[in-house]
Every structure is written in C-alpha cells, then in structure tokens.
Amino acid sequence: MSGPSNYNPQNPVLKWVERRLPIGGLIHSSFVAYPTPRNLNYWWTFGAILSMMLGVQIITGIILAMHYTPHVDLAFKSVELIVRDVNYGWLLRYLHSNGASMFFIAVYIHMFRGLYYGSYKEPREVLWILGVIIYLLMMATGFMGYVLPWGQMSFWGATVITNLFGAIPYVGDSIVTLLWGGYSVGNPTLNRFFSLHYLLPFVIAGVVVLHVWALHVSGQNNPAGVEPKTEKDTVPFTPYATVKDAFGMSCFLLFFAWFIFYIPNYLGDPDNYIPANPAVTPAHIVPEWYYLPFYAILRSIPNKLAGVIAMFAAIIVLAFLPWLDSARTRSSKYRPLAKQFFWIFVVVCIGLGYLGAQPPEGIYVIAGRVLTVAYFAYFLIVLPILSRIETARPLPNSIAEDVLRKTGSTKTPMVSTMIALAVGGALMLGAAGKASAADDSHGLTPPSLKWSFAGPLGKFDQGQLQRGLKVYKEVCSSCHGLSYVAFRNLSDPGGPGYSPAQAAAFASDYKVKDGPNDAGDMFERPGRPADYFPSPFPNEQAARAANGGAYPPDLSLIAKARGYERGFPQFVFDAFIQFQEKGPNYIDALMQGYEEKAPAGFALPEGSYYNKYFPGHSIKMPKPLNDGQVTFDDGSPATVQQYAKDVSAFLMWAAEPHLEARKRTGLQVFIFLIVLSGLLYFTKKKVWADAH
Amino acid sequence: MTSSTSAEPTRRDFLYVATGAVGAVGAAAVAWPLISQMNPDASTIAAGAPIEVDLAPIATGQDIKVFWRGKPIYIMNRTKKQIDEARSVPVSSLPDPQSDQSRVKEGHDQWLVVIGICTHLGCIPIAHEGAYDGFFCPCHGSVYDSSGRIRQGPAPLNLAVPPYAFVSDTKIKIG
Ligand code: FES
C-alpha cells in the first residue's frame, strides 16, 4: 500500500541521519503519507485510542512501581500510601486502575468493529490474529495487575484463576504449584506477578508494532469493505486521519475523566479495599468486569476441565474467525442476515457479562448455558452457514462512490451509530454491574442519605468531620483502629480543618509506642503529627480474644470497603449521577439498625446482636451508639442519628482524604477537555472540508 | 469569492494555532503531576520534623551520631584542646573561611553539631581521625578539623551545620 517514501529532508543533519538510518522516511510513509481510506468512520479511531491507552498505562504504571512494594505484608499499605501521601498519587492510581477498564472498553469496541466490518478477512488474517494475541496478553496483564494491591479480591482472584490450570490432566497440580512458587498463593506469587505485570505491557507494545506493520502492509479495511483502487479513494494519514484520531482521543479522554474524577471506584469491588486474608473468602467472588463473559462460560459447564477448556476456547475461536466466516463480502452493511446475527451476538456477549456477575444459582445457571451455546453457535454454526447461503447487497464500485452515496443520505449511519453507542454503553455498564439477586442472607438496602460530599462539586462539611472524629475517638476507637490516618492529616486541606498546632495537640493526647531506645527497650511517648492513630489491640489475635472471636476491622478504609447492591437498572444510572456513597450510607444504617429483639423465628447465636442492615443480621458488635453518649461543642443534637451520620462522613474522609482535590481537579480537566475537543472538532471539519 | 479566500487562510491558521496551543498547555499540565510525584511524599516530609537530642550522656571528648532526615549528624563534646586548636588557626588561611565561633552556639562552645556528610561526594567522614583532631573522610582523603572545617583534600566546603537550637543546657532540637 505505502509506496516508496517521498520523504526528502532538506536539513543536512536529517539528511545525514536518513542516509544511514531511514527512520524519518519510515515515520513519514507510515504516519504522514500513508494513504487511508477516505470513508472511515469514528469506529476507526479506536486504534489510536488504544495506542494512547497503552501509553497511559505504561507511563502511570512505571510511576506507580516507583512507590509500590511487592510484598504480602506491605503491598496493600504501599498502595494506600500512594493514594494518601504521594503527590498526585490518588490521580496516578485512579488513572491506572480505571485506565485498565478504559483499555478494555476500547479494545472491545475495536474488536466488535472488526467483526462487523469483516476486518479479519483476506488479506488481513495475520493482522487479526496479532490482535487476538494482544487481547490475550492484555487479559493476562490486567489479571496480574489486579492482584498487586493485595486486597481480598486480588488474593482470591489470583487463587481462583491460577487454580484453573489445575484442571489440566496429570500435570495440572504441578503447574499450579509452579505458578504459585509455594503451596498456596503467597509472597512468591505476588513477586512474580509484579515482575510479569511490568514486563507484559512491553510485550504488548512489541506485538502492537507487528499489528501496525501488518496493517500498513495490507492497508486499512473500511466501512464499505471494498479495497481502495485509485488516488481518489484515499487521503493521506496526516492531516486527515491524525486530526480525526486526535478528536476521537479527546472525546474518549472526556469519558475516561468522568471515571477518574467522579466515580473512581465504580468499576472496582469494595472487597478489594479489605487487605488480603487467606482465611476468609469473600461471599461473592467476581472478576473484573472485562472477564465476566468468559467467567460466565466457565461456570456454565458443570465439569472442571470442560469449563476451563470452554473458557479458553471462547477466546481462541476468535483466531479462527477468518476461516469460519468465508463470505466474500466484508462489511455487514451489505450482509442483511449477518448484520442481524452480529447484533444478536453483541447482546449475547452482554448477557454473558451480566450473568458472570450473578451468583451461580437457579435461573442464572440455565441462562448462562443457553448463552454459552449461543456464543459458540455464532462462530461455529451461524457464520459458516451464512457465508454459504447469504446473498449480499450490491457493493459500491469504489470508496469514492461510497462517500458520494453517503453524503446523499446521512440517516442510516446515524441510526446505526446511535444503536452501537447505546449497546456499547450498555455493554460496559451491564458488565460492570455486580448486581446480585437479593437473597435472605443480605441485609436490607440502606436508605440513601444526602451527603455534602456527593456530586461533582461535593465538599466535606468540616464541622461534621470534627464531630465524627469525636465520635470515633470517644466510642469506636476502643475497638477499631484507624491505622492509615496520621494525626497530621487532621490539618490537611480538604479535611476536618484543624490547624497544624491543633493537630499536634490532638496527637499529644495519645500515647505512642516507640523504640527501641539506647538501652534496647520499647517506650511510650506522646504522639506527634507524623504518627498514625494507634490501634487498640497489638494484633489480630489479641483483638479477637477481647471481642468474643470477632475481629473489629480497621476503619481507615471501611467507607470504601463496604457496599451493597443497588440492582438493575439503578446501578446504570449511578454512573451518571456519580453515586459513590454506598459506604457511608451503609455505615450510617448499620449504626442505627440494631433491634432489641430478633424477629420471631430468627435464631440469634449466643453473644451476637440483631442488626437489620448487617448481612446475615447477626453481628458480634453490640449497639455502639446511644443517645447522649457524646457531647458536641457546636450544639448539634446528641442523638444516635446525628452520631451515625457524622461518624460516617468522617470515615468517608478517612477513606478518601483527597476527595475534594479530586473533584476540583476534575472540574478543571473537564473544562479543558471540552475546549480541546471543540477546537479539534472544528479543526477536523476544516481539514476534511476539501476531502468530501 | 475573492474576499472569502483572503479571509479563509487567516481564520484557518488561527484555528490551527489555537488548537495546537491548547493541546500544548494540556501536555504541560499533564507533565506536572508526573514529575511532582517524584518529590518526597507527605509521610516523608512529616517524618522529617525536628527531633530532640539529649546531650547529657555525651562525655567530654566523645561524640554521638544521630539521624535526622536520613542524614547522620555528629554531635561532638569537644575538649578544651580541640576548641583551642580550632580557634588558633587564622581564618583567612582556610579553604572555606569560617570562624569556629560562627559554627557553634554562643555559650555552648564545646558542642559541635555538624552534618556528617563529606562535602566532596557524600561519604561519611570518621570522627577523631586525621591530622586536625576532627574528621577524616576515607573515600578520597578529605581532612576536617575540630570545627568540621575542610583543611586538606578534595572537599570544597566545611561540614554543614544543621539548623538547631538549645532547648536547655543538655538538650538540643535539630530541625
Ligand atoms: S567523599 Fe569524602 S573525600 Fe570524597
């Protein structure tokens, strides 16, 4: 496609280099003069968006690795300290964690686009297979990255996924041991996952180079699916494709920024804010949303080995697509039947994604099996048959003709774009939702309260944080630690608003263990601003012994580590209304959810208390708050309701101390990106004005 | 037609320049957090708060090494001989002229408090070694006197005096 380079540098230095290493000519022929079909639509900008996302992930990842500690005792804490203490650490972490999701959203759109327009067909088979390899590498990278924060989902996800390999006959157990580097998932596992998580993105980058190379040999496919024949069918990559891609990327960044700044934990699981605990499995293990369809396939098959094979086959089958679909016509635009089945297939994938998030019981299992069959049937039955029986509509003679035809009627592409957008959004959101069926063991859904820190302009109420701190100090702190919060944080901007002197005075009320001193002894001294809130118990065993076997959790992250289901379709709306207040709602409800007597028929175990909102209803913590227990200096009512709300807000701040900075930065970023996207849009229009 | 063609290029150029400029501003704004994250984080800064050191256990002629902000600090209880040596040398003859008086706190003349990092390339000099009753850096042979001033060797400057103050006669606060 790309003919001999017409790159002729005038600058003598460039000339000198070019004679010895023709890199300028390579860049020029690949990204400047490279002819690109003139009828490409915006679905084609996802290639550029994916390159951008790979760059974002690599850059933020390298930076996070500068602050991260891959050790089972320190990994969770080091991630928290990145978020709390490193300059812009919260931004970098949310960029990286949400960036993974954005990367997958973009890759799924890119893949569905290839599927719809037949981009895998002759002569682009190798290009497509390289893409499947990139996708597999992305899945491995994403999985290992999710393990690194060493939360509960990290640990149990690692356990479940590595155990998949145990299904392999004869050698399975040995392979699993090899992956773990031990008798279970542990420190060696974390270390090697960190190493590989750092390595694989560069492997991806290498395969991306091959992918782009193959693309530049065979040329880009296009919505009409006819090859460019004359000069009139193409436009040079720069400025046409560059400015269009730039506009696409800018719009995608707007979407990305919504997640980073306003709903950074929407796609994550609250359980991953609980440090990994090899002794307790979370009630409901769910992988990251982008694996859910395959997870659903795995669970649909009631045999370990067969399930694993089916899951991997679901991905591998993509590599054979060029031969399964042998129809001569590429674009589904001209294949009425293939087009319908394509959309059915999209719905099947979304359905599988939804089911992957549901508990594996009852109707969900049956639905999962039906959709699994449908998934494979699309590739193994529908496409091979269609390619033999379907008569395609007449193709345009050339791309130029396609462009002319399109300018005549712009309605159809608009409609299909709308459908695709809606489906794409639903795909992402549908799969993201971890709505599980409300069963009896779950608590009641907590009421949604109004919080000052909700919404795009939300801010903490300083008075409320101060009152909440008082409740924590006088009540909660006798059993619960707050070990990631330092006294100095009390004077941080966006917090309870104390002065550094007040924070120091507050700290000096505490006794902190320090040492060893010159004589080798540990000693106690008054707290300093740099110290963290001391925990009430020296270790978990002591805490359990003092609390009837229950372990009062540390409260630093509790507001992000607790959630509940909002159900479909509410969880979809939550992404738009920026709902991120499950934690405080739950804590508030729990504080007030105690009932004197368990309802008739409920067997309350000895030493437990009945709470409406606690999952399972039987809680070991006695009712912590009572009217009049804490006196507020500001005249706020001394009621349980007031205490509960204040302490919930305080714990939200403790879990997300940079919330205000995040939302403020978000507003600036949004204004900037809207301006940039607008300018790029008009620039794009100007550039393309003479191409249509 | 003629008027529109003459107006067109300028409007177009303006749009291109504006778009490019906004993009460049964005790139610069992105670079800021990526670079700023390399600075000490909040916990490191907080841990660098002033420390108090009790001088009572240090006998005359002895020294201790304490750490502040990751740097070793020598606190030396100097003998009369050391003080006299430091004060008898003509200041102008020194590579980095500074009087001993200006390097200690008035009224506490026996206490020398210096950052124990060689001003050559950062090694840690050994106390009570070298020809001047002060410090000797084993890395490249810099010799400091009993006031921590450079006397011989490749180091260009005297050992730095950290910010400190006497809280009481036997206690200093460094930082
Ligand atoms: S570092 Fe001390 S003499 Fe070179």
* pLDDT (tens digit per residue) in B74-105: 999 999 999 999 999 999 999 999 999 999 99
- pLDDT at position A439, please? 43
Query: Average pLDDT for residues A518-536, to the nearest whole number?
Result: 92
CA distance B99 to B88: 10
Q: Band of the pLDDT at A231, cuts 50, 70, 90?
A: confident
Cβ within 8 Å of residue A670, ≥6 positions away:
A254, A257, A261
| Strand, coil or helix: A595 | strand
The answer to whether B38 contacts chain A (CB < 8 Å) is yes
Catalytic residue among B108, B120, B128, B140: B140
- pLDDT at position A263, please? 96
Among chain B residues, the shortest Cα distance to A87 is held by B37
pLDDT over threshold 70, residue A288: yes
Going by C-alpha positions, the residue among A583, A617, A587, A613 that lies closest to residue A602 is A617
* Residue B23 with chain A: CB contacts under 8 Å: 246, 676
Phi, psi at residue A27, to the nearest 5°?
-65, -40
- pLDDT at position A561, please? 95
Residues with CB under 6 A from ligand 1: B 118, 120-123, 137, 139-142, 153-155
- pLDDT at position A468, please? 96
Long-range contacts of B66-72 (CB under 8 A, 24+ apart): B66/B174, B68/B162, B68/B174, B68/B175, B69/B175, B71/B115, B71/B116, B71/B117, B71/B162, B72/B115, B72/B116, B72/B117, B72/B124
pLDDT digits (tens, 9 = 90+) for A343-368: 999 999 999 999 999 888 889 999 99
H/E element holding A298? helix A292-300
Q: Note whether A676 contacts B15, CB cutoff 8 Å.
A: no
Do residues B110 and B63 make contact, with C-beta atoms less than 8 angstroms apart? no
Query: Average pLDDT for residues B61-68, to the nearest whole number?
Result: 93
pLDDT over threshold 70, residue A292: yes
* Residue B39 with chain A: CB contacts under 8 Å: 87
- pLDDT at position A434, please? 43
From the alpha carbon of B118, which atom of ligand 1 is closest?
Answer: 2
pLDDT digits (tens, 9 = 90+) for A620-639: 999 999 999 999 999 999 99
Q: Band of the pLDDT at A428, cuts 50, 70, 90?
A: low
Q: Whose CA is nearest to atom 4 of ligand 1?
A: B140
CA distance A508 to A303: 61
The residue with tokens 């990631």 is A484
* Bridge pairing between strands B164-168 and B171-174: antiparallel
pLDDT digits (tens, 9 = 90+) for B130-141: 999 999 999 999
Both tokens assigned to A234? 């193409």
- The alpha carbon of residue A455 is apart from the nearest alpha carbon of chain B, in Å, by 24
Of B22, B34, B41, the CB nearest to A679: B22
A14-23, A82-91, B11-20: segment of lowest average pLDDT: B11-20
- pLDDT at position A63, please? 97
A1-5, A581-585, A676-680: segment of lowest average pLDDT: A1-5
pLDDT digits (tens, 9 = 90+) for A398-419: 888 888 877 655 455 555 666 6
pLDDT digits (tens, 9 = 90+) for A459-512: 999 999 999 999 999 999 999 999 999 999 999 999 999 999 999 999 999 999
Which of A87, A682, A690 has the most B C-beta neighbours within 10 Å, making it the best mutation to test the interface with B?
Answer: A87
Where does residue B59 rank: exposed (0-12), middle (13-18), buried (19+ CB within 10 A)? Answer: exposed
pLDDT digits (tens, 9 = 90+) for A102-121: 999 999 999 999 999 999 99
The answer to whether B36 contacts chain A (CB < 8 Å) is yes
Q: Band of the pLDDT at B5, cuts 50, 70, 90?
A: very low
Sequence letter at residue A557? L
Rounded percentage of chain A residues whose pLDDT exceeds 90: 80
CA distance A79 to A67: 8
- pLDDT at position A437, please? 39
Report how far Cα A460 is from the mean position of its chain's Cα atoms.
26
B24 vs A421, which has greater pLDDT? Answer: B24
Report the phi/psi class of residue A451: left, alpha or beta, with left for phi > 0 and alpha for psi in -120 to 50: beta
B120 in catalytic set: no
pLDDT over threshold 60, residue A556: yes
- pLDDT at position A438, please? 40
CA distance A423 to A425: 5
